[in-house]
Amino acid sequence: MKNAERNTWCRSHQGLCLRQSESPDVMVNRDVEEVKNLLEKYHQSHLLAFWGELSPTQRDNLLDQIEQLDFEEVSRWVRFVLENTSPEIDSDDIAPVSSYSSEPADPGQRHKYAEAVRLGERLISAGKVAAFVVAGGQGTRLGFDGPKGNFPISPVKQKTFFQIFAETIAAAGQEYETTCPWYIMTSPLNHDETVEIFNSNDFYGLGAENVRIFQQGTLPNFDSDGKILLADKSTMSRSPDGHGGSLKALHQSGALADMKKRGIEFISYWQVDNPLVNLFDPLFIGLHAMDRAEMSSKAVIKTDCMEKVGNFCLRKEDLTVIEYSEFNEMEDNEAPPSPDGQRPKLAERRNPDYSLVFRLGSIAIHIISTSFVERLNADGFCLPLHKASKKIPHIDATGRLIESDKPNGVKLETFIFDALPLATKSIILDILRDQEFAPTKNATGVDSTETTKQMMVARAAEWLESAGVVVPRKPDGSVDCLLEIAPSFALKKADVKAKLRRIPQIKPGETLYLA
């Protein structure tokens, strides 16, 4: 067995989990009979179904992949695939959680926010904050050929996500007179292409030494009977292990060690498909540091009780994010049942002022202390598994390639927000959605490239107007011009005022790019 660390899965109070451990059923040499016996014992004999047809190199490759498996862990994965092991959440265990609002609530908090901003600025200037984007996803909904980060998204210049983030990091470096290193997590699906994109763009001027691109781990894909799927006759089908895999990948790739060497204490985490993200937010960083939090989150106030976002809440007093699919189904046991015996949903519970009790939606923006990632990896930490039915190309028992337009396999993954209950302390800052959150999931419709571009224009218009610039608007109030503000021009709303002399008069229907 190779000495590399392996992922194994265990049960915890949250269900089936990821941890690092050893189990007795691992292969010690390349005895094919031993492999056969092992596969038979764990009902995975089909992995050698095409053995007789394989070349020596293919055989070697296949054995390599099987050697990497810990069969105790395989049997746990299989049990998870076959049963619905995710434990039912009891709504009696769920309570709302408080947050810091984007604006301070009272004079005491105003003072704290001012202090936090000063602290956050000091930490950024001192080079204590790294940028970390997770970009290993498949981006299936967007349907773009290539890494999602390379999708041209800005409304005027068609800059890609990667370019926008790079320009933001460069502008922050200038503002704070520091160098902010950028860590990018990819997966085997898009690693080489991503590296090529950065090479051919000369690392967007950030310097190759300040950009570290590393891969996340993968997990086997299964059929609904718990059999590992084969991508071809000598290759197991595998998928990236979810954005939760980033916490292990940071450690295993050496990125965490690199951060420590550079004196980084805080990781600014975001997703590759949100071009409005405020990467270096002194208030968020400062509050996290002042409150000695290990992992903190930004949230949006839900627009609708059933909005399709993860819900921040306390579960048995631990901060947790519950996916909307589960949360929106939970009944409110405190509410009286209606005449037909049905209880209202927990998601519908309201305060006396009619605001939602469970109002904080998760947007996958976090500050994570490097010491937390270190601690988790030293402890052999556990993240629960989630499974999803997906369209997974694979070969069948006859070796025929099966490509279906319907889900035909099971993918296992972990989610970053499942690390929140493991943090000793955590804060939530609820922010204004139109300023910081434009998820680009689909080609058209909701959360699409269209809505993101609209949001980018709308935010630019709002920044200009707040500095006194007249922005043409249509009778319905929508912006009547195409605007793009480069990070070099303004990183935040307040930066616009100092640049007023460089902003021309804007006519209806015009296109304006400010850099």
Residues lying near ligand UTP in the complex (CB under 6 A): 134-141, 148, 185, 187, 216, 240, 242-243, 271-273, 413, 441
381 vs 489, beta carbon nearer ligand UTP = 381
Q: How far is the CB of 470 from ligand UTP (least distance, A)?
A: 37
Q: How far is the CB of 336 from ligand UTP (least distance, A)?
A: 38
Token pair recorded at residue 133:
């984007």
In 44-175, DSSP assigns E strands to 94-95, 129-134
Q: How far is the CB of 149 from ligand UTP (least distance, A)?
A: 8
Q: How far is the CB of 390 from ligand UTP (least distance, A)?
A: 9
Closest CA to 158 of 4, 252, 275, 304: 275
DSSP 8-state assignment for residue 137:
S
141 vs 499, beta carbon nearer ligand UTP = 141
Q: How far is the CB of 393 from ligand UTP (least distance, A)?
A: 15
72 vs 241, beta carbon nearer ligand UTP = 241
**Contacts for 280 with CB less than 8 Å, ≥ 6 apart:** 124, 129, 131, 168, 172, 176, 180, 268, 491
Q: How far is the CB of 154 from ligand UTP (least distance, A)?
A: 18
135 vs 431, beta carbon nearer ligand UTP = 135
136 vs 220, beta carbon nearer ligand UTP = 136
Backbone angles phi, psi at 469, to 5 degrees: -80, 140
Q: How far is the CB of 195 from ligand UTP (least distance, A)?
A: 15
Cα Rg for the chain, rounded, in angstroms? Answer: 25
N-term to C-term CA, the chain: 55
127 vs 136, beta carbon nearer ligand UTP = 136
Write out the H or E segment, with its range, that includes residue 434.
helix 433-436
Q: How far is the CB of 17 from ligand UTP (least distance, A)?
A: 17
| Whole-Å CA distances, 250 to 8, 103, 371, 512 | 17, 33, 12, 40
Q: How far is the CB of 486 from ligand UTP (least distance, A)?
A: 22
359 vs 386, beta carbon nearer ligand UTP = 386
241 vs 332, beta carbon nearer ligand UTP = 241
Cα–Cα distance measured from residue 515 to residue 512, given in angstroms and rounded to the nearest whole number: 10
Closest CA to 482 of 441, 502, 453, 444: 453
| Whole-Å CA distances, 8 to 73, 241, 401 | 5, 12, 30
| Whole-Å CA distances, 461 to 3, 152, 309, 431, 506 | 56, 20, 27, 19, 11
Q: How crowded is the C-beta side of 275, counted as CA atoms within 13 Å?
A: 35
187 vs 408, beta carbon nearer ligand UTP = 187
Q: How far is the CB of 420 from ligand UTP (least distance, A)?
A: 16
Alpha helix segments (H runs only) across 216-354: 246-252, 255-262, 282-290, 324-327
277 vs 481, beta carbon nearer ligand UTP = 277
**Nearest residue relative to ligand UTP (C-beta):** 137
CA torsion, ordered 116, 121, 123, 125, to nearest 10 deg: -170
